[in-house]
Amino acid sequence: MNKQGDNLDKEKEKFVALMKNEQTDFEQRNTELGTLVASFDRYTDETNFEEIAAQAKNIMHRLN
């Protein structure tokens, strides 16, 4: 019984470590996306629509 408990504790530690890594990745990705979205305010000239569209597509790609 104690051996099984040790195995479960090891599995729990693996899952906790995995969740922490995923949380760190999510926070980094969220920060990067926030920076990209915030940069849209620099687009004030509609003649740059192709650049704006490319940036929007980049953000959509990262969200998926």
pLDDT tens-place string over residues 9-45: 999 999 999 999 999 999 999 999 999 889 888 888 8
Q: Quick one: pLDDT band at residue 1, thresholds 50, 70, 90? A: low
Sign of CA dihedral 35, 29, 50, 46: negative
Residue 55, classified by CB atoms within 10 Å of its CB into exposed (0-12), middle (13-18) or buried (19+), is: middle
Give the predicted TM-score (pTM) of the model: 0.65
The domain locations on the chain are 2-63
